[in-house]
Structure 1
Amino acid sequence: MEIALSFDTAGIDWETVATTLETVGMAHYPPEVHKTAFEASHTTIFAWHNGRLIGFGRAISDGVYQAAIYDVAVNPEYQGKGVGTVIIKTMQDRLPNCNLILYASPGREGFYQTLNFRRMKTGMALFTNRDAMAEKGFTE
């Protein structure tokens, strides 16, 4: 399958972004909130197949040595076909000297381990919706 990548937020259908995030069970907000988040990010990646947005991800970073990856999602019709791998590897290529951190959706940790990510022993988070994040298995 041929995947085309783009790195600019211009022309993105933010409704598709919001719907994809909701469909895969990730945090989702109104489309304009996702637009703001992606536009404020250091690195954005959008994956396309035959002109259709099928996956995406973003990173916030100082661009020097630290970056955090967020909102990596692939349309369920395209999962298991290497799209997520292309997004993450491209993120690694675009942030070559940065330590990369992320938190995976519970049950998806293995995907990131295949890409050389490792569990952190001292990771901490302060979520705005603590109860929901605990219910979803993100925190103790």
Structure 2
Amino acid sequence: MTIEIKYDCNEIDWNLVASILKQVGMAHHAPEIHAKAFQASHTKVFIFDDDKMIGFGRALSDGAYQAAIYDCAVLPEYQGQKIGSLIMEHILKHLEGCNVILYAAPGKEGFYQKQGFSRMKTGMAKFISEQVMQDKGFIE
């Protein structure tokens, strides 16, 4: 495996981004929506094995003291090989000095705890599709 890390959106296949998110059971949208979200993000990390995109993640931040991580995903056949940890390491490197929040898919909390994250006692959310998020186990 030959790993390459990219920090920009040049030459990204947004159809593949949507496909990977769908494959791992995360929220996915039309490719142009993902392009807009990643391009507007403070930090973006794309991981390639040779020329094949195998994972990615992004963060929103004010660049001063607050940040939130979204869309951290790894192709199923590459999971368990520390690719997710590599994505998180490179995102967090760009967020030094910031408090960082995220929400994990139910069952994935352990991965983020290994990255140094703690459960929040007072986290709150307002979702567009509240019933869908409740059905998926994100909210009570």
Query: Which residue does 1:19 correspond to in 2?
Result: 19
Query: Which residue does 2:61 correspond to in 1?
Result: 61
Distance (whole Å) between structure 2 residues aligned to residue 16 and residue 77 of structure 1: 15
Distance (whole Å) between structure 1 residues aligned to residue 43 and residue 96 of structure 2: 12
Letter of the 2:13 partner, please give it.
Answer: D
Please tell me whether the aligned partners of residues 3 and 83 of structure 1 are also in contact (alpha carbons under 8 angstroms): no
The percentage of counterpart residues that share the same residue type is: 55
Letter of the 2:97 partner, please give it.
Answer: N
Query: Which residue does 2:78 correspond to in 1?
Result: 78
Letter of the 1:13 partner, please give it.
Answer: D
Query: Which residue does 1:98 correspond to in 2?
Result: 98
RMSD value, Cα: 0.6
Letter of the 1:19 partner, please give it.
Answer: S
- Relative to the length of structure 2, the TM-score reads 0.98
Q: Equivalent residue of 2:125, what SS?
A: coil
Letter of the 1:109 partner, please give it.
Answer: E
Distance (whole Å) between structure 1 residues aligned to residue 74 and residue 81 of structure 2: 10
Aligned residues: 140
Query: Which residue does 1:7 correspond to in 2?
Result: 7
Letter of the 1:55 partner, please give it.
Answer: G
Distance (whole Å) between structure 1 residues aligned to residue 25 and residue 70 of structure 2: 14
In the TM superposition, structure 1's runs of 4+ consecutive aligned residues that sit over 2 Å from their partners are: none
Q: Equivalent residue of 1:125, what SS?
A: coil
Distance (whole Å) between structure 1 residues aligned to residue 124 and residue 20 of structure 2: 27
- Relative to the length of structure 1, the TM-score reads 0.98
Query: Which residue does 2:117 correspond to in 1?
Result: 117
